[in-house]
Structure 1
């Protein structure tokens, strides 16, 4: 039998893809991001925070930071402490600030403020207000009570954030160095007063802050804080328990100690911090700080200035509270 020749069937040539024709008026879609729910601005902000954290850790490991004679660690304050406080400042209290132009661009000044709120959060919020709103982001060197520096961890953090004892020698050293110094002359009488006495200024001590300003020639900048009175409305004081714990008072608020740790969450009151026109101490006699009548009159002038500003701000504020995230 004759063998038949096998038939060879040629393979088809592979087809090349024909490029799609794009009309000039046709829009080409951008590639879909991995997380379409995250806006680019938020991604950039996260990258900056991550880079800042890495830089901070690198500086701490290398020891590339400084601490002044009072224990102020600016690198730690700007990178860790202030960002933590800023969350409360911006998101919870949503603080409004006015009168920053009355703070000096450089050189010394004494910021004198009212004090309230059962827990001295108002001082911390004032420090953030100064730093974040001043053109050169100055730090407010706060004068605190002895109790602050006796508390574990809190005392150490207070030192590192630039705070020091509320005494004339420390105040004068800071002012002589050209620092912006903050003082709250009402002390525990102000922050520990009952809620029924809110926004009624207590006595301003013996005018020690005025003497420090007179000795250094620093101007006095009155500061009025509205909103702090409502964060922990103090209804009563458990004095026996306060004496047992070595505290100036042990507050009873609508939520504390009834709700335990949850009662320590401050209420979201509406805040406004105003810096008033500076009161000059220049041109006074060299020994003016030794004149008790002059010191008393200047102290009373600062106190009355702050009290009138509080009344004016309260009249403009309206309701005392607002829910975070809701603009009013």
Structure 2
């Protein structure tokens, strides 16, 4: 389709005759317009547009870009526009009204550059990861995106897999982690995996094994700082009191949870309990001070992994002693 021709609004053929006045006058300027900068009248028109009309115009522009494919994704499939305008806002009611999340130590998250956030995992369903990502984006001065490293099961699921990619997340493997960190991204990992998120309620806030320290190796190879992160409140949203293993095997899940409300109350049982959350970001642990090849030293990797784990565990204990009530904080 040919480009549209631009028709000038005030060309010579459309100019109005000057208003009669003294000889040489170019037309008397109305008093209301004297002393205004060019374009002020258009700014006033914009101010008069109702908010709902602006929101509708933004929505239509967003839909037009989605339909026409006029948007960008990175090499991991991260769709910033979809994430910021659709996916993250869905978490706002949970974050602000339901869990009433309080963050501590956000200044410990670097303003820019690669960094690896490491947190405890809990809650049966990984809402803790999503809520942490929302906290960083909304309350960090740089509104950074937390690029989460997830289990391959997530990316095999029909709907969640593509959405996870569009939200900027990728597989929890060293090559992907190192690519993110080298490109200056803030990556997040929950090294307890399914052992942490699927543990029984009686083991709440007891950290499970942190794997083989792959996240430490990725940080050492890229020189990215490690940010220990402790999350209190997620353990209580779906208290896991049982596991229906035959159903877990049938669906290919690591567990099929039984909670006080699920599956007894159907969909109502899937509503998380409104526990009060605290998320504390600890002081960064530097990795750029180690010599080249440190990532290949198993003892060093083990010691750093244990240091990160112990830091998170002690922070959890401290936050729990300060909490008076699960639901009121």
Question: Residue 125 of structure 1 aligns with which residue?
Answer: 131
Normalised TM-score (structure 1)? 0.83
Question: Residue 208 of structure 1 aligns with which residue?
Answer: 214
Distance 1:73 1:93 in 2: 27
Higher radius of gyration, 1 or 2: 1
For residues 205-284 of structure 1, what are the structure 2 equivalents within 5 Å? 205-284=211-290
Question: Residue 188 of structure 2 aligns with which residue?
Answer: 182
Q: Does residue 1:303 correspond to 2:296, yes or no?
A: no
Secondary structure, aligned partner of 2:116: strand
* Residues 115/45 of structure 1: CA separation in 2 closer, same or farther (3 Å cut): farther
Deviation at 1:57, TM superposition (A): 1.5
Distance 1:177 1:50 in 2: 36
Secondary structure, aligned partner of 1:185: coil
Question: Residue 149 of structure 1 aligns with which residue?
Answer: 155
Distance 1:52 1:83 in 2: 15
Question: Residue 86 of structure 2 aligns with which residue?
Answer: 80
Equivalent residue for 1:315, pick from 303, 306, 321 = 321
Question: Residue 53 of structure 1 aligns with which residue?
Answer: 59
Secondary structure, aligned partner of 1:257: coil
Q: Does residue 1:292 correspond to 2:292, yes or no?
A: no
Distance 2:157 2:50 in 1: 39
Aligned residue pair count: 281
Give the root-mean-square deviation of aligned CA atoms: 1.5
Normalised TM-score (structure 2)? 0.83
* Residues 45/100 of structure 1: CA separation in 2 closer, same or farther (3 Å cut): farther
CA contact (8 A) 1:53 1:79 kept: no
Distance 2:199 2:52 in 1: 42
| Unaligned 5+ runs, structure 1 | 1-42, 323-327
CA contact (8 A) 1:108 1:218 kept: yes
Moved over 2 A (4+): 43-55, 61-64
Question: Residue 198 of structure 1 aligns with which residue?
Answer: 204
Deviation at 1:89, TM superposition (A): 1.1
Per-residue CA shift, 1:113-151, capped at 9, x if unaligned?
000000000000000000001111110000000110111
Distance 1:146 1:207 in 2: 18
Deviation at 1:48, TM superposition (A): 5.7
Deviation at 1:303, TM superposition (A): 0.2
* Residues 48/272 of structure 1: CA separation in 2 closer, same or farther (3 Å cut): farther
| Unaligned 5+ runs, structure 2 | 1-48
Distance 2:54 2:110 in 1: 30
Secondary structure, aligned partner of 1:181: strand
Deviation at 1:46, TM superposition (A): 5.3
Equivalent residue for 1:69, pick from 75, 90, 94 = 75
